[in-house]
Structure 1
């Protein structure tokens, strides 16, 4: 049976009511305080205090302070008037129960409204965060598209410049051939003119009357010998040997201009390996060789020491930045350690160096597309990843692994498969 507390004191102003409730040993942890518009209850076993207020109060603005064996309430009135008493008079048990139930329902409704408002605010925050993330992803996607477009424009501009230089070179060669041909014709005419015999005049014949017989025949025979065509040259054979083609395809089926450009780039990369760089003068002789560093990086990658492999490829690239396989291998290392943006950059750089596209670099181009597509998918940019996988399939349409991965990405985009 609870002990009802009646020795309380209260004071009021037009705006507030101050209620002091003494409770021995009361503490915040064990005291149960319930405050409604017309009802106030404190349960601190074995003590119980409840009061049915004279007029409604604003329970949201009201406060309770617990300490020193006392609870002090500051109740804010809804109407600025003076109360005659603290509690309403003439209240029977049925009315008390009805007031209690109404108070509980009011508190529950307010709690429900507060929870709904909190949930709505949370949804708004999530929606805002999602919109911000989508905006960031859109900016990243636009940035990557701009990079791609710039690379395409750069490659097209370089190709047009190369074609123009080839055209000028061909035109210059043609002019030189025509000039050489005209000079040869002119020289031939001059030689024939020098070899042409002097014509016999009537006066010269008259001065030699004896030419009517045998002597005249000798004169014309000499003239005939001078004008006669030289004898044909002797028959012989000329041995001709051709340098074998680097690419196995026949010339009529190949892209000769692209192949020549690729060979020229490879030759430039090999020449760059022999250049001494002062800042690397303290390295060993083999450490100055990008090929040796590439093999070292490959061995470290095989032992799953990816960071050391990245360092080896970094040094090799500083020695020679024209070797596409260095960027391609470093992109694989970045994928392993989830440096996804760097993997995309290295794959793009490898594709830039693997131009023009020829059969000799087809396998490397396919790997670059697959690795960049994998990085895009791990960033959840599945549309860009699918584009790279489709580009890899154009290079090698029979690769089953790439076909299966491309199909999985399509299913993820369509929502028929979980992201992995």
Structure 2
């Protein structure tokens, strides 16, 4: 039985009530405070302070400070007036029990609401972070595309200028070539006319045919042609190399190489396994058999290998959570149970039993860590799935008693 604290003190103003509760040597970490608009409880084993308030207070603005050997509770009044007493003057145990139960239910609803609000806030933050990341990635893609377009336009302009320059050079060379050909033809024609005049002129006879051939013009031989081989340095990235992005490209290539190395190492490690050892269902059955015989470490090893082969089977995480509970690895049990519940979506009749088991295992791990409020939520979730489960109802009653302080924590006995 807890020892009721009677040496408390209280003061008030028109708007606020202040309560001082001495801790009697208890450590700050073991003080459990529960406050609603009609009820206040301070529990630090084996002592208990309860106050069934004379008037309702504003629970949302109430505060509690623990330190220097006392608990200072500030309770803003809903109506600005002085109280005749701190607590209601009644010895009706049933009425107090009803008020206590209502306060516990309000406190649980408050915890659930706060948890839901935190989850919604976390979801909103994740959504905002994802949208921001997507926006940044889009801006980066647009920037890269803009750089590509700029480089393409620049390259196109340079190519057009080069083609125009080549065309102009070709026209100049063609004109020069035509001029040379015309000049050569003119020279040949002049020499031919001169030879004809010398060889067949009136009254003149050509001395010899060889003499005429010597004076013929000898044309130069055609120029030699050839091919020039051009090679380019290979690049992984489609864009041109920029000094400002060299470090970024090297980091990306390093991460890709590490990822490939990890995949290859995992493949090499699993390659030597037998055919049945690569079957997640076979490994699950093996782990179940080990669990049934009490060999929890072997069961965990079997489930670990099965998870590496297939990470989408909820039963592997749920069964491994049961093993961790037996081995006292409560944080790992919570992690595996949460992973199983994430995979058991959407909630349908086919996975109801599996969701109930995973919720109970996570709730049990929370209670082993003395996080009774979180554990009670998981047990309630399991009871919603199996409302006629007598064992679950009994466990929920035990947890409620521990939270209310009517039953001692089993780990502290």
Task: Tell me the TM-score normalized by structure 2.
Answer: 0.49
Structure index of larger Rg: 1
